[in-house]
Chains A and B, each alone.
Chain A
């Protein structure tokens, strides 16, 4: 029974075990640093520049929606209006910037990585490198993970800034709060620790979405149908694990 759980390819535990064992293969000494370095730069460019527009658009709207809805909840109440700036800032930094950005990136970057690596598996590119003597787990995966944990926190910072700007624009446009009040709100009750929390999340989510997606691609079998499924699984599993991690980080870092 227990053996079933660990050996059957349909069991979650089987994949958890395989995933963990696989991590040991990834963080090996590179055959040649300059080849890895080139690959890291290429990946940073792909992830960073490739996702800039979508991250900005989404963050702008998330900030705007937060501001509008909070002002709706405030209307007629006792809470001063400048709180809008404060709430948008904290909502973005503590939760929205990291979580929304990474959920979106799981859909964009994660599915892309799974499809790319899965394609390399199916077209025997990975086998070809193995026969040459390349440690493919390291050469193909490690640069992606390193690039992601550098670039994604940067994207998350950008998302926080744009989100706060989105809140500002929406508040001014709807006239729910004056410019001076919004800025007053932004400057009130600031807790630097929250920024740390944002970066912890960004870092962890970046690792989850790349390593889970790469796993789905690297071990793909069969043909184009399986490749599509792997790419979907990459997004679904990354999203779920990001939210689970979000919950755990929230529990641990706010206790």
Chain B
């Protein structure tokens, strides 16, 4: 479980987050949703420590994340996996070497065979085969996402963060990536936080949703609650597309 309390973040004059309280629950796919520029990435970076909040607290269970000592932070890092919006795969390394990178860096006691086995397990988890020795530039965007996920889970994290996991993917591939992340979350009972502005994701895997709007938490709830909600910011966001609006009006009328 991760909890943010009264979290603020400003860049100079610009106040991006203006006091947000939210709990990201264990074993669930927690979604941060909102329009482009709403501050989703900023919130995610605060959660993983790539940025520091201007004010407020981040709790990893009972750990005060912002004020951890170097050693405590280092050991918590081993429990964190992250999938970046642009994948952030190292382009000079092959798929296999990318996934093995955290093991090479931190699992000094592991033998080469054990590492190989772990890499293959992760590749199987993300349903990729036969690309071990390809370079990131030689595989498709969807496959790159899978490699990114495999790398994020290779150290068996307790927390998984995904920044727009299905941006730039066709709708069908996007759904399979969503399902993959959701399955991993359930199988290992981890705390997953996903940034998205994709409606399909919200309705598929939105177990615990945090809607950001103008720096504030505008709505929270599960996907089941979305359709019943009369929150205007939420309905504006969900039915942003003219096509959905028409369907909705037709259903209502």
List A residues at the B interface (Cβ < 8 Å): 31-32, 35, 123-125, 127-128, 130-134
Q: Return the chain B residue nearest A38 by Cβ.
A: B104
Please state if B50 and A130 are interface contacts (CB–CB under 8 Å). yes
Known: A131-B80, A131-B161. 16 other contacts (CB 8 A): A32-B104, A32-B105, A32-B106, A32-B108, A35-B105, A123-B88, A124-B84, A128-B84, A128-B88, A131-B48, A131-B50, A131-B77, A131-B81, A131-B82, A132-B101, A133-B105
Q: 8 closest Cβ contacts across the A-B interface?
A: A133-B77, A128-B88, A124-B88, A131-B82, A124-B84, A132-B102, A131-B48, A125-B88
- CB of B78 within 8 A of chain A? yes
Chain A residue contacts of B81, Cβ below 8 A: 131
Judging by beta carbons under 8 Å apart, are A31 and B86 in contact?
A: no
Smallest Cβ distance from A30 to chain B, in angstroms?
10
**Is B69 close to A, CB under 8 A?**
no
B74 at interface by CB-CB < 8 Å:
yes
- Say yes or no: A128 contacts B106, CB within 8 Å: no
Q: Given A131-B50, A131-B80, A133-B78, A124 and B104 touching (CB < 8 A)? A: no
Q: Mark B78-122, 1 if CB is under 8 A from A, else 0.
A: 101110111010100000000001101110100000000000000
Q: Smallest CB–CB gap between B57 and chain A, Å?
A: 20
Instruction: Assess the B105–A134 pair: CB atoms within 8 A.
Output: yes
Among residues 32 to 46 in chain B, which have CB atoms less than 8 Å away from a CB atom of chain A? Answer: 45
Residue pair A128, B82 in contact (C-beta under 8 Å): yes
Known: A130-B50, A131-B77, A131-B80. A123 touches B105 (CB 8 A): no
User: Interface residues of B, CB < 8 Å — how many?
Assistant: 23
By a CB distance below 8 angstroms, the chain B residues around A128 are 82, 84, 88
> CA separation between A189 and B115, bound complex, in Å?
61
The distance in angstroms between the C-alpha atoms of A159 and B232, with both chains bound, is 72
Is there an interface contact between A127 and B88, defined as CB atoms closer than 8 Å?
yes
Checking A124, A132, A133 against B86 with a beta-carbon cut-off of 8 angstroms, the contacting residue is A124
- Residues on A with beta carbons closer than 8 Å to the beta carbon of B84: 124, 127-128
In contact, B86 and A123 (Cβ under 8 angstroms): yes
Shortest beta-carbon distance from A163 to chain B in Å: 35
**Shortest CB–CB separation between residue B234 and chain A, in angstroms?**
30
Distance, CA A241 to CA B49, complexed state (A) = 35
Nearest-neighbour CB distance to chain A for B72, whole angstroms, equals 12
Chain A residues with Cβ below 8 Å from B102 are 132
Q: Could you show 11 A-B contacts with beta carbons less than 8 Å apart?
A: A123-B86, A124-B84, A125-B90, A127-B88, A128-B82, A131-B49, A131-B77, A131-B81, A132-B77, A132-B101, A132-B105
Q: Which residue of A lies closest to B45 (CB)?
A: A127
Q: Which residues of B contact A131 (CB under 8 A)?
A: 48-50, 77, 80-82, 161
Contacts of A32 in B (CB 8 A): 104-106, 108
Q: Give the Cβ gap from A32 to chain B, nearest Cβ, in Å.
A: 5
Provide the residues of chain B in CB contact with A31, threshold 8 Å. 105-106
Residues of B within 8 A of A132 (CB): 77, 101-102, 105-106, 155
**If the complex has contacts A127-B50, A128-B82, are A133 and B106 also in contact, measured as CB distance less than 8 A?**
yes
